[in-house]
Structure 1
Amino acid sequence: MRRSLLVSALVLALAGCQSAPAPRVAPEAAPQPAAAPAVESPAAHDNLNALAWMQAAEEYRLATGQTYRAALAQLDRAIKTPDWDALVPSERANPPDGLPPAVIFDIDETVLDNSPYQARLLRDGGFYEETTWDAWVREEKAKPIPGALEFARAAAARGVTLFYVSNRAVHLDEPTLANLRAAGFPVDDNTRFLGLGHFVEGCEQIGTEKGCRRQLVGRTHRVLMQFGDQIGDMVTIEANNPAGRMAALEPYLGWFGERWWVLPNPTYGSWEPALFNNAWSLPEAERRRMKYDALDYAE
């Protein structure tokens, strides 16, 4: 009996030991990945997509190239048609009959590509100003717009005089002409560059409009074609607002793709300030709001 009680006690004692929870050992903490260094995002800029398209998209090169190829296909017909003239009547001071043929080019974003200058402004958070623009022009690094050089050379080979009517200031004539020549454009005479500030006797200059300079070309030449990235490169805009711009071009819609040729330029131009009443003095955020207001939401 005593032995039986001792065995029972021993069994109960062992059972108690087995039911006791084992002590927990805290697991070693897993190593945490180091925090990634903060990367500063580029500042938002209205011109980013436009510049990226001009510099990287094949579609841009195709668009400019097809414009100049289509113009070249029309050029021989224009030369052979005596009454073919690309000046509006108000800028034609004398009959074009018998005058030697000419073509008028704008320069910037029409024959020369200044997108690297604009890319610098975007990178540096800056905006256009005369000091940085003059410095860029003096670098003489602008490359030809795709298609422009081929057309210019073909026109010159046919005996067509090329005029470069630009709103580059006249004091930039030397680097401008040097850049054009370095890029391969025919420039047979320094007087072929007619910059902003060029005085035209007998014609009243209206702001930065090119009407007087176009009239000057027309005094000695029959203008076959005009090339530009702005409506104002072909005709004077009396009021730079959507209605005024349409009024300027509407009588001549049939000339586009025949006598007048427009190059794509989404980066700048008179179309932009027309959306905010030409009020560059407004804060950038307010100008942007007005551009948003000008969008069509089809609602």
Structure 2
Amino acid sequence: MKAIISNQYGSPETLDYLDVNKPILEDHQVLVKVHAVSVNYGNLVLLRGKPYLARLAFGVVKPKYKIPGGDIAGVVESVGKNVSQFQPGDEVYGDLSSSGWGGFAEYVAVPELAIAHKPTNLSFVEAAAVPMAAVTALQGLRDKGKVKAGQQVLIYGGSGGVGTFAVQIAKALGAEVTTVCSTSKVDIAKTIGADTVFDYTKEDFSQRKERYDVIIGANGYQPIATYKQALKEKGTFVHVGGSETQMYQVMLKGPWINLKEKKKMGNFLQKANQKDLVFMKELIEEGKVKPVIDRQYQGLGEIPEALNYFEGGHAAGKVVVSVVQS
């Protein structure tokens, strides 16, 4: 089979597009013929080995996982003897970031609990856009932010991969949603249901008087003091994306703020799990959430180009690569 191989940390151009052996299926695994994959921030961390702390998990000197790729959508080819939830022919989607990666390939062997049945109202391309970004948004809002119906929620960076899902999920949870984005993405944010949208190129967020119960930092470079000021008393800021400087500020200053004031500030790392994939499937089939796709590439060989585009930071929604032509 064809696959994208990572033998060294570096730019997308260091990736190789090679013939490799098809995975050997273990008893607890499902062999999936991959139809589409999507690109996430985790792919860049795996590619470049930055931030350097990530190398403790991904390999100190060179990549531990030779075939990158987390989000997939495809069709079950075969199942191990201990698999009970799937059978050949099932359409599935999943996030492989907690089970060895390997998605940038024509076939991948995955643990049964890493995937779920694909939403019936999505194509493979649309379904591949969902897992990591949607579950990150879901867990950041529901689990870390404890969002409740009627609360005021701000999504800073509501037009990116995680942000577009966060806006829709917050609405599905009953919140009133404000989001921040650039001029070219205002219409997208309105289309997916944001109650209030403002353009950071025209208005200084730090000067706004509104206060929020929960703020999700999905992108941007704001100092955490700005977010702290925008929180209501007992409000919560959740960093899920954005600059490394912002991430380290939350790591180092967040605990002090949490002790000193009645506000919570913390980083958040998504945890891939089947239960939340099923939850997202239900929201999508109910019409409450839909993936926003910025750009689609054709074939595994275009993954380096897709990564370069994604790393530019201007995608409005998700970047997806078709592996099998429709």
Q: Give the structure with the higher percent helix.
A: 1
Higher strand share: 2
Q: Mark yes or no: TM-score above 0.5.
A: no
TM-score tier after normalising by the smaller chain length? 0.3 to 0.5
Question: Who wins on radius of gyration, i.e. which is larger?
Answer: 1
TM-score, structure 2 normalization: 0.31
Structure showing greater relative contact order (alpha-carbon pairs closer than 8 Å, 6 or more residues apart): 1
TM-score when normalising by structure 1: 0.33
